[in-house]
Amino acid sequence: MPSPPKPARRFARLVATPLALAFVPSLAFARPVAPSVLCDTWPEAADCRGRVVGCETCHTSTWPAAWNDFGFAVGMAFPGGIEDDADFAAGLPTALAAVARRDSDGDGVDDYDELLVGTSPGDEDDVWLWCAPTEREALDAPVRRGFDFRAALNRASILYCGRSATYEELAALDAQPTDAARHQTLHAAVDECLASTWWRDEGLPRLADPRIRPISSVGASSTVGIVIGDYDWDYRLWSYVLTQDRDARELLRADYHVDRAADGSLVRVEGTIPTSATRGPQPLEPERRAGMITTQWFFAINTMFSPLPRTTAAQAYRAYLGMDVSKEEGIVTVPGEPLDVDDKGVRDAQCAGCHATLDPLSYAFAYYEGIQGASLPSLGNSGRFNPARPEREIPGWTDPQAFLFGEPVESVVEWADVAVESDAFARNLANLFFRHALEREPTVPERTAFDALVTSLAEDGFSANRLIHRVVDLDAFGGLTP
Amino acid sequence: MTRPFLSRAIGAFVLVSLAACRPSGNGPAGPGTEPPETCAPTTEAPAPEPLHWRRHAAFVTDVHAALALDATTGCRELDRTPCGDVHLVALGGNDVFGAGQYEPVARPLATTPLVVDRFVLGACSNRVTLDAEATPVVFGMLDLAASTVSRDDARATASELFRRLLRRDATNEELAEIAELAEETNARDFAVAACFAIGTTSEAVLY
């Protein structure tokens, strides 16, 4: 359906907005249930395949609530009044169906089509005019014609070896007689880089920095004598899991630790780690462990002294599932939440939208100590599991049900089990290495190839190495625009 | 949906190239609808992936490898600290333990060109000094004590530097251009200037 001219739409909106607010007063709220209902209605939408639609799909602001063109069109298409979330959830599919073939933002593409390809139906500047895909020319290698093997070898060497390809390496590539041989040479070089000490000890740790968030002044080598945890354990586990074709889900499932052998290699160690004069311990029992999100450092730096460790859960959600609650990503409202167990006022309307997701994410983490001692060798009880902690910190604690993605979980270990089996985990892992390689998000025409990366993880045993090999074969890695 | 500026720029470029795909008067189109009849497959060569910044680790390693230097013999500030460490952030690295900077800057800073010049000039100068004082490693085609440089020696030196610093053979035009630096210059100054000129090209900094 052709869009009305822009001035007319603007005028219509100008007139209709106060009318809508006057006659449908409950529209003046953001509805945290909307993303999940949208995905139930249109699961094929790009943002529903592995992550949850963000509030910005409809809103320009959630408090006070304000809408973009799409959100406004959806609101006006509701079949009846909206008294509460239940009315809203019941009416939203009908409203979405009503606007599917509209072009709310006037950018030339239907709202439904924009959601399919992953552009915003409420932002006229975010658009991709679609054409039928063209046939790919077949080569004797699994890359597109025009793929620049020299550029790819150089890029791979820089990214995974920490240096450019040498003159001799490039000359050897040029000497290969066929694209298939060049492709084989390229991937042999990638294998060599991924087995290098640079990738293990420098390349991979730099990808972990925003996830581990070390603070050297309170780390094991603190020069001021205040140690709250030893994040070297975290870095070693990260690098161990993401090398040698290991299962990347171990990031959140490992019940072991990783130490460094005399030759510099990383070796798995079992059980708890006693303290020493030069490094911090890992006191948590293996059955309570869930990889990166249960190290002593993770609890010390995220939980600190919080009665309900929302920051800890939010960092786990952000770092390993790719969704930042503070940016209103990954909102999956749990009915009846937030309970406001620690009396922080999070039931207020401007807080509840996020805390109905965040608080149930956090409950399971409340049983782990944050900072409980701050000096080597013991570090006190930091990071230990303590069933009595919630009641000690929050008198009257009722052991509320924890949830992840709307699914009840009984512990952090179960939280992690649900997390690693989710599309969000796979998508976040693929996104990590895609962004590392190309320093940007996938574009709309790359979405199919990116989806293939995500789905390939299962068949590749969640090997980061195999994932990287697939990234190297992407058109963009060889200098092509898809 | 928010997207990085670069993606928007790419999107804008492709939008222009796909302008013929915009349905004329037939309403919007997308994967949920049939493609418009006017939407012919594009025959132009696809645009290349934008250039990327050769960041700290690779840049420092490349310059050191090209000139057979390391952190102790390469560029050093006040002869005490490796320039690569001092200028970590401006060279595109992230100072995680010193500054709690968990991710590198997205694009070169205003000081990045200065730091690149500083780093390469320091490395080139040190290499020339080392070659002048002992068996030369990089500048073996030159008599570094000479007050003049022949055209052939200048071209041979340039050729060696292209292979070392840019990992490719130079074109005739490039050799001629570098050789011009040898006019009315002593060998040592020419060596530093040629090394600096090649090592600070955009090709050395971007990939």
Kindly list the residues from chain B whose CB atom is less than 8 angstroms away from the CB atom of residue A167: 163-164, 167-168
Residue of B nearest to A174 (CA): B168
Residue B119 near residue B83, CB atoms below 8 Å = yes
Inspect the interface and report whether the beta carbons of A155 and B27 lie closer than 8 Å: no
Distance of alpha carbon A382 from alpha carbon A371, whole angstroms = 5
pLDDT at A97 over 80: yes
Residue A17 near residue A72, CB atoms below 8 Å = yes
Identify the pLDDT of residue A29: 61
Identify the pLDDT of residue A132: 56
pLDDT at A463 over 80: yes
What integer best gives the mean pLDDT of chain B? 84
Closest Cα to residue B151, out of B124, B188, B177, B121?
A: B177
Identify the pLDDT of residue B22: 36
Distance of alpha carbon A301 from alpha carbon B102, whole angstroms = 14
Inspect the interface and report whether the beta carbons of A164 and B58 lie closer than 8 Å: yes
Specify which residues B82 forms β-bridges with: B76
Identify the pLDDT of residue B44: 45
Kindly list the residues from chain A whose CB atom is less than 8 angstroms away from the CB atom of residue B106: 439
Kindly list the residues from chain B whose CB atom is less than 8 angstroms away from the CB atom of residue A155: 52, 207
Identify the three-state secondary structure at position B135. coil
Using the Cα atoms of residue B185, residue B186, residue B191 and residue B196 in order, give the sign of their dihedral.
negative
Identify the pLDDT of residue A62: 78
Distance of alpha carbon A464 from alpha carbon A466, whole angstroms = 5
User: How many beta-carbon contacts under 8 Å exist across A and B?
Assistant: 149
| DSSP track, A271-293 | S-B---SSS--B-S-GGG--GGG
A222: left (phi over 0), alpha (psi -120 to 50) or beta: beta
Which ranges in B71-186 belong to alpha helices (H)? 83-86, 96-99, 112-133, 151-161, 172-179
Identify the pLDDT of residue A447: 83
Identify the pLDDT of residue B162: 98
Report the gap between the CA of A202 and the closest CA in chain B (Å). 9
Identify the pLDDT of residue A182: 96
A379: left (phi over 0), alpha (psi -120 to 50) or beta: left
Inspect the interface and report whether the beta carbons of A130 and B30 lie closer than 8 Å: yes
- Go through A167-200 and write b for each residue having 16 or more CB atoms within 10 A of its CB, e for each that does not: bebbeebeeeeebeebbebbbebbeebbebeebb
Kindly list the residues from chain B whose CB atom is less than 8 angstroms away from the CB atom of residue A201: none
| Of the listed ranges A3-12, A404-413, B18-27, the one predicted with least confidence | B18-27
Inspect the interface and report whether the beta carbons of B46 and A481 lie closer than 8 Å: yes
Residue of B nearest to A222 (CA): B97
Identify the pLDDT of residue A2: 37
Report the gap between the CA of A215 and the closest CA in chain B (Å). 6
Percentage with pLDDT > 90 across chain A: 62
Identify the pLDDT of residue A118: 82
Percentage with pLDDT > 70 across chain A: 88
Inspect the interface and report whether the beta carbons of A120 and B1 lie closer than 8 Å: yes
Identify the pLDDT of residue B48: 63
Q: How confident is the model at residue A219 (pLDDT cuts 50, 70, 90)?
A: confident
Inspect the interface and report whether the beta carbons of B102 and A209 lie closer than 8 Å: yes
Range A140-155 average pLDDT: 89
pLDDT at B167 over 90: yes
Inspect the interface and report whether the beta carbons of B32 and A132 lie closer than 8 Å: no
Inspect the interface and report whether the beta carbons of A481 and B49 lie closer than 8 Å: yes
Distance of alpha carbon B143 from alpha carbon B153, whole angstroms = 9
* pLDDT one-digit tens code per residue, A74-95: 988 887 777 777 788 888 999 9
Identify the pLDDT of residue A268: 97
Distance of alpha carbon B140 from alpha carbon B83, whole angstroms = 26
Residue of A nearest to B19 (CA): A129
Specify which residues B126 forms β-bridges with: none
pLDDT at A1 over 50: no
Residue of B nearest to A106 (CA): B28
Identify the pLDDT of residue A144: 85
Q: How confident is the model at residue A482 (pLDDT cuts 50, 70, 90)?
A: low
Inspect the interface and report whether the beta carbons of B97 and A439 lie closer than 8 Å: no
* pLDDT one-digit tens code per residue, A302-334: 999 999 999 999 999 999 999 999 988 888 889
Kindly list the residues from chain A whose CB atom is less than 8 angstroms away from the CB atom of residue B164: 167
Distance of alpha carbon A163 from alpha carbon A283, whole angstroms = 39
Contacts of B38 by beta carbon, 8 Å cutoff, 6+ apart: B20, B21, B23, B24
Identify the pLDDT of residue A28: 52
Report the gap between the CA of A482 and the closest CA in chain B (Å). 8
Q: How confident is the model at residue B25 (pLDDT cuts 50, 70, 90)?
A: very low
Mutate to test the interface with A, among B49, B94, B198 (most CBs of A within 10 A): B49
Kindly list the residues from chain B whose CB atom is less than 8 angstroms away from the CB atom of residue A234: none
A117, A443, A475 ranked by CB distance to B31: nearest: A117
| Of the listed ranges A236-250, A259-273, A326-340, B161-175, the one predicted with least confidence | A326-340
Using the Cα atoms of residue A215, residue A219, residue A224 and residue A227 in order, give the sign of their dihedral.
positive
Q: Please name the amino acid found at residue A210.
A: P
A1, A154, A203 ranked by CB distance to B27: nearest: A1
Identify the pLDDT of residue A139: 63
Range B106-117 average pLDDT: 96
Inspect the interface and report whether the beta carbons of B1 and A126 lie closer than 8 Å: yes
Range A13-34 average pLDDT: 51
Residue of A nearest to B59 (CA): A163
Element of type H or E holding A330: none
Mutate to test the interface with B, among A109, A148, A435 (most CBs of B within 10 A): A109
Kindly list the residues from chain B whose CB atom is less than 8 angstroms away from the CB atom of residue A118: 1
Distance of alpha carbon B33 from alpha carbon B137, whole angstroms = 65
Residue of B nearest to A147 (CA): B48
Report the gap between the CA of B15 and the closest CA in chain A (Å). 7
Closest Cα to residue A93, out of A25, A40, A46?
A: A40
Inspect the interface and report whether the beta carbons of B30 and A114 lie closer than 8 Å: yes
pLDDT at A54 over 60: yes
* pLDDT one-digit tens code per residue, A261-289: 999 999 999 999 987 777 788 999 999 99
Distance of alpha carbon A146 from alpha carbon A138, whole angstroms = 11
Identify the pLDDT of residue A52: 62
Our CA dihedral for A420, A423, A428, A430, rounded to 10 degrees, sits at: 110
Is beta strand A266-269 parallel, antiparallel or unpaired with respect to A257-260? Answer: antiparallel
Per domain, the residue ranges of chain B are 1-50, 56-205
Please give the structure tokens belonging to residue B178.
């570098």
Range B70-97 average pLDDT: 96
Q: How confident is the model at residue B39 (pLDDT cuts 50, 70, 90)?
A: low
Kindly list the residues from chain B whose CB atom is less than 8 angstroms away from the CB atom of residue A120: 1
Range A389-397 average pLDDT: 96
A103, A131, A219 ranked by CB distance to B21: nearest: A131
Distance of alpha carbon B32 from alpha carbon B102, whole angstroms = 41
Range A234-242 average pLDDT: 98
Task: Report the 10 Å Cβ neighbour count for A370.
Answer: 24
Identify the pLDDT of residue A448: 85
Identify the pLDDT of residue A51: 57
What integer best gives the mean pLDDT of chain A? 88
